[in-house]
Amino acid sequence: MNLQLIDLLLIGLQLATALGIVVFWSWWFRAKHDESFWPQGYRQHEQAFVVPDLVLALLLVVSSLMSMGGIVQGSKLALVAAGMMLFLAIIDATYFVQQGMFSRERGGVGNALLVGGLLILSLVMILHHS
């Protein structure tokens, strides 16, 4: 299997996203989360996403390695990861809209870039691998 430039780009983005997920949760568990604007139950809500996010990171890494190794099923696994990423990003976007987390006072630009980036990457992956 000859990898095209788009394949290499997506593999790089998948690996960067997987690393970003691990770094995010490492940071998140060390942060205080004492901002007054966080809604009640914020910590419990976010903690529910640790395991799904880490499973997503694992799928992104494994599908990337499979694709780099010329294993055709890597593309199918990337579709699974893309669907999972899309679902989790939609949940995040919905929660952020409901809680006003896209406002400037609440780090809205960073939240929008994070969720928007995941939505775009998941859609590009779905289009590319289907």
- Tens place of pLDDT for every residue, the chain, 130 residues? 688 999 999 999 999 999 999 999 999 999 988 888 888 888 898 999 999 999 999 999 999 999 999 999 999 999 999 999 999 999 999 999 998 989 998 889 999 999 999 999 999 999 999 9
d(CA 83, CA 34): 33
List CB contacts of 96: < 8 A, sequence separation 6 or more. Answer: 102, 111, 115
Q: How far is CA 26 from CA 11, 19, 22, 29, 44, in A?
A: 23, 11, 6, 6, 16
d(CA 116, CA 30): 25
